[in-house]
Amino acid sequence: MLNQSGLDKVFHALSDASRRAVVERLVRGPASVGTLAEPLAMSLPAVLQHLAVLQDAGIVTSQKIGRVRTCSLVPGALTDPTAWLAAQRLPAERRLDRLGAHLASDHPTQEQS
């Protein structure tokens, strides 16, 4: 399980739409930095900065072969953040389920005289 600092890094890394787009692309498989940069409206140095944030959070890894740097997702990198989110969601969902059951039940209403 990630510590609080690790969770903070992951959530910070995923807080940016461009970095989420990179992660979404890498779900399909490894890609070169150039391929990752193509759909993004930013310079290559900016893409590299975003990749550095994802690498620092432990979400992405890269390797350079010749002149090509290829990035890929770190297996299981999003497991701990997903588990943390699920743990936060479940109690709230249970409360909403109880409220829904209460509202749906046939409770007599009090009439005012």
pLDDT at 10 over 90: yes
Q: Compute how many other C-beta atoms are within 10 angstroms of the C-beta atom of residue 41.
A: 7
pLDDT at 98 over 90: no
Query: Does the CA dihedral 11-16-17-23 come out positive or negative?
Result: negative
What pLDDT does residue 107 have? 61
Q: Is the pTM of this model over 0.85?
A: no
Mean pLDDT to the nearest integer, 101-112: 68
8 Å CB contact between 9 and 57:
yes
Domains and CATH numbers, the chain: 4-101 (1.10.10.10)
Q: What is the pLDDT of residues 40-96, one digit of tens each?
A: 999 999 999 999 999 999 999 999 999 999 999 999 999 999 988 888 877 777 777
> Rounded to whole angstroms, how far apart are CA atoms 66 and 83?
38
